[in-house]
Chain A
Amino acid sequence: MNARFALIVAWLGAWLGALAGARPVQAADVFMLDQRVGTIAFAVDHVGLFSSRGEFPLFQGRLLIDRIHPEQTKIAVEVNAAAVTIPWPDGPDLLRGPDFFDTARHPIMRFTSTAIAGVDPRHFRITGTLEIRGVQQPLTMDATLERQQADPISGTEMADFTVTGVLSRSSFGMTAQPVMISDRVKLHMTTRIELPRVR
């Protein structure tokens, strides 16, 4: 369980992107995160007729795995809000503007975990604080271990995760266009992490 939990925690850091090769930077417990493997996406509904999916392609973070006390594992991720993409004409400019992410004043979004708990061997709950536009709100997300396999050549263990969550954009002060853009924003993140096998 500890090995799996360590994997989960490692992925949780990577949920905002991919691990930089998933190699520990030091002492096998601290990992630097970036977007090279993995995605951070969000989806909103439009008048109940269709939905749009956007992405944050630039982020970086730090994952600290405590193998003795896995519940104390920490994740801190910073996302470049100005890099947001969405496939509408002028959509990214709209989202960067003062009605939404207001990237001129708040270019970075942050997530910092406060607790990680196992629900079952493949599902985990991540609780933390999300900061958007300078507003901090608690956020709970569900993590699922989709696949896990050992790589005998490198002696590492690879795991694919998805993390999902839901937030209310109005709770962060993003109240514009309530008819056309739903208040409920679905988060969907994927990543693959590679860790030294834990025995």
Chain B
Amino acid sequence: MTRPLARFRRHLHWWTAALIVIGFSLAWVMTALPATVLLIKFLAYQAHKTIGLTVAMLAAVRLWLLYRSGSKIGPTEAIIYVMLLVVPLLGYLTAAAAPGGVPTLFLLIVPVPHVLTPGQALFEVIRPFHLWAAIGLMALAAWHAAARLRTRQVGASRANRRRESAYSSHANRAGSRPPSPAVERMPDRKDPL
């Protein structure tokens, strides 16, 4: 993989991570807002919908890049990719079924057609799936982040141990220069999601 492409994929990864955290947090705020601030509530819902659609588009681009590069991913990452598409899809269906008939406006200007007829019964069926899928995605993302942090810590502590051992063996041989920490190689990292 070329370096600019790798950097682009890293950027997509972190944009996705930031957006799902913001979108998830916004969901709790927007549903708790009272109807007395209807305009803010409306804007919050539209921001949440825009974030969801963006996450789905980013996930599609990243899957395509992954397919092109032929990289392998683990089961947790694979499930996260699926959830990055499923959660926004369920959110879209929830919005389409919502009885208020509030439109979905991507970036507040691009109307996204709704494929369902609004109805309270359908809304109440779909909404919990969206909610629990989103909670599941956040849990998986947290698990994934924790696993990556742990991998980094383990890698860093191994590198430190190697460095310390190199220094101490050098101390026993007076006059020779210690190896430069700059040339110490870190363990190979997998591509980020």
Could you list which residues of chain A lie within 8 angstroms of chain B, going by C-beta atoms?
46-47, 49-52, 87-91, 93-94, 97, 99, 176-177, 179-181
Contact = CB atoms under 8 A, between A and B. Distances in A.
Interface in B90-114: 99-103, 105
B28 to A, nearest CB: 14
A8 B181 CA distance: 95
Interface residues of B, number: 15
B105 A180 contact: no
A169 to B, nearest CB: 14
A113 B101 CA distance: 34
- What are the 8 tightest A-B residue pairs by CB atom distance, in nearest-first order? A87-B99, A90-B35, A94-B35, A180-B39, A180-B38, A87-B100, A88-B100, A50-B103
Interface in B28-44: 31, 34-36, 38-39, 42
Nearest to B99: A87
B100 A180 contact: no
A92 to B, nearest CB: 9
B38 A49 contact: no
B40 to A, nearest CB: 9
Interface of B: 31, 34-36, 38-39, 42, 99-103, 105, 118, 120
A85 B31 CA distance: 19
A52 B35 CA distance: 14
A88 B99 CA distance: 7
Given A89-B31, A90-B34, A179 B39 contact: yes
Residues of A contacting B: mostly: loop
Nearest to B31: A89
B31 A180 contact: no
B38 A50 contact: no
A49 B101 CA distance: 11
A94 B33 CA distance: 12
A87 to B, nearest CB: 4
A1 to B, nearest CB: 41
Contacts of B120: 87
8 contacts: A49-B105, A50-B103, A87-B120, A88-B38, A89-B100, A97-B36, A99-B36, A177-B39
Nearest to A90: B35
Given A50-B101, A88-B100, A177-B39, 17 more contacts: A49-B105, A50-B102, A52-B100, A52-B101, A87-B99, A87-B100, A87-B101, A87-B120, A88-B35, A88-B38, A89-B35, A89-B100, A90-B35, A91-B35, A177-B38, A179-B39, A180-B38
A88 B103 CA distance: 13
A90 B35 CA distance: 6
Contact of B38 (A51, A97, A181): A181
Contacts of B105: 49
A93 B38 CA distance: 13
A50 B39 CA distance: 13
